[in-house]
Chains A and B, each alone.
Chain A
């Protein structure tokens, strides 16, 4: 059974860089054709897809975040990562890593990690 687990700092200062990692177990991120996404959810609010990486390594990002966002994959560690630069309070959210086998169907979710941007 596939399991995704997010990790990273829970607190980031404004203007600094947020880095999160999603460790995948029960599956190989380099096998098959799958989509590995990051989705975030501000407290008490809805869901926002922010970007994804395909098994092939190709990436695509939400336009409003594209200039600050990088998603990468470490096949040797079976994990993928998110880097978001120049964060502000509006980046405060619960961040989920998600696997999909169909483009933009979000099938398997991690438990989420709360990231707060504050000085």
Chain B
């Protein structure tokens, strides 16, 4: 399986700051990388597919970048509703796998 490692495990920020989350794959996934947001007690929500394409209705402050094995999710000007756990997932190699998540918490 393609192992995805997310770091940091926890990110403590104040509203208005910039969040930079990383995801590293053990094998290249080209740009077949997806990001999800999961708020407490809720199902995950797809944010970004194919490394950089925002899903419908996702605010422009969320952006994704990267290719191969290293990817970044950036949340510019983080808002109170953005504090959550974020997961990356690859769909290049079968079976699809998820990273362990990064928790973005209020500082």
Chain A residues with CB under 8 Å of chain B are 46-49, 62-63, 96, 102-107, 109-112
Contacts and interface: CB of A to CB of B under 8 A. Distances in A.
B97 interface: yes
A109 B98 CA distance: 16
A48 B98 contact: yes
B55 A107 contact: yes
Interface of B: 34, 36, 42-46, 49, 55, 87, 89, 91, 95-101
Contacts of B34: 105-106
A105 B44 CA distance: 12
A55 B91 CA distance: 19
A46 B6 CA distance: 11
22 contacts: A46-B101, A47-B87, A47-B89, A47-B98, A49-B96, A49-B97, A96-B44, A102-B91, A103-B91, A104-B89, A104-B91, A104-B96, A105-B49, A105-B91, A106-B34, A106-B36, A106-B44, A107-B55, A109-B43, A109-B44, A110-B43, A111-B42
Contacts of B100: 46
Interface centre among A46, A49, A63, A109 (most CB of B within 10 A): A46
A109 B91 contact: no
Contacts of B91: 102-105
Contacts of A110: 43
A27 to B, nearest CB: 15
Contacts of A105: 34, 46, 49, 91
A104 to B, nearest CB: 4
In the A-B complex, the 5 residue pairs with the smallest Cβ-Cβ separation, listed nearest first, are A104-B91, A109-B43, A104-B96, A47-B98, A49-B96
A47 B49 CA distance: 17
A100 to B, nearest CB: 9
Given A106-B34, A107-B46, 20 more contacts: A46-B87, A46-B100, A46-B101, A47-B36, A47-B98, A48-B98, A49-B95, A49-B96, A49-B98, A62-B95, A63-B95, A96-B43, A102-B49, A106-B36, A106-B46, A106-B89, A109-B43, A109-B44, A109-B45, A112-B43
